[in-house]
Structure 1
């Protein structure tokens, strides 16, 4: 029930303010979707991604879970193994009952090398092939766009080597950025607190 645009009532009858009859307002799924995705949400990005299972998804398909995201590439021998270890360390500190509501997402900055097959093999090698882990391969354009959103800088040094920022980002279930952890092997107490705060 609605009156004056912003007041809502759950019972039929008349408005105590203007005395007009209350009318039932149907909330469509579109209305609900529009309400829950803000302008800051990464779910507004329309790029398509391949998962390690070679399924095509958009970021909005991840809506409803807390997202812990990092940009890596599988042939990296320096920073990325440390970032993977940091992600594993964060996962290990979270209560088991929360894990079902959290998605750990590894986004490749090297879409040419990191095919879905390669990402799948990497996931298995690193024991990250459980449901809470997701690996994404995009196009060069979608990777660049997403890196800009996360303030991740990366640069190709050679065909198999990139210089890149080491940032782990936490998003709430509506895709809004809540926290970023920068550096390798840093104290992740604030990151854990942020994840627990936004995960029901």
Structure 2
């Protein structure tokens, strides 16, 4: 019985130290170039409130879209899925694929959840974010994404997929639709392994 108590005490200590280490990582300062300096609040497809810094610790692949788009966004979504398909399956747990809506008034968490399901993007590494017009504009500025509302239901926007390291620093951008993504894949895999 005494041996079991010792094992339980040791196990409890290990769990506590792991939790403390994870908390310390999230509290350590990030560089000035990190997107984790942004303090804006977002809702994900599960209607959970979070901040960009909640993605710290994994490599993030980010694109800005809107769900009612009929032109560029379906191609950007296909490009994101193509990137995902070329990453070794055992590395996917080290990645966040994040799609940020540029139309937060229309793209509610409920609508983002349906969109994720319709596009076979329900695995835990897929994240869809709804902000406010202000937080979306701030985030677009950080990514160098330009967008403009051209009708009540349509936007003109940049077609950029951005890759950030575990500390939220931009390391690569892929511009265009349906472009050769070998360099993007290589950069993601290299960053995950470092």
TM-score, normalising length: structure 1: 0.83
Aligned-residue Cα RMSD (Å) equals 1.5
Higher Rg: 1
Residue 119 to residue 31, structure 1, CA distance change in 2 (3 Å): closer
Structure having the larger proportion of residues in helix: 2
Distance 1:191 1:147 in 2: 20
Show structure 1 runs of 5+ residues with no match.
Answer: 1-26
Matched, 1:193 2:191: no
Work out the CA distance in 1 between the residues paired with 2:149 and 2:187: 32
Matched, 1:151 2:137: no
Partner of 2:132: 139
Secondary structure of 1:111's match?
Answer: coil
| Counterpart residue number, 1:173 | 166
> Which residue, 32, 36, 39 being the options, matches 1:43?
36
| Cα deviation code 1:123-147 (max 9, x no counterpart) | 0000101111000000000000000
Q: 2:90 aligns with which of 97, 110, 113?
A: 97
The superposition leaves residues 146-180 of structure 1 with CA deviations (integer Å, 9 ceiling, x where unpaired) of: 00000000000011100000000000000000000
SS in structure 2 at match of 1:60: helix
Tell me, in whole angstroms, the C-alpha distance in 1 between the residues paired with 2:169 and 2:186.
Answer: 16
TM superposition outliers: structure 1 runs of 4+ over 6 Å: none
The answer (yes or no) to whether the contact 2:26–2:56 under 8 Å persists in 1 is: no
- CA gap 1:32/1:137 in 2 versus in 1, 3 angstroms: closer
Where does structure 2 lack aligned partners over 5 or more consecutive residues?
Answer: 1-20
Structure 1's 110 and 29: CA in aligned 2 closer, same or farther, altered over 3 A? same
| Equivalent residue, structure 2, for 1:6 | none
Matched, 1:33 2:43: no
Find the aligned partners of 1:30 and 1:115 in 2 and give their Cα distance.
Answer: 31
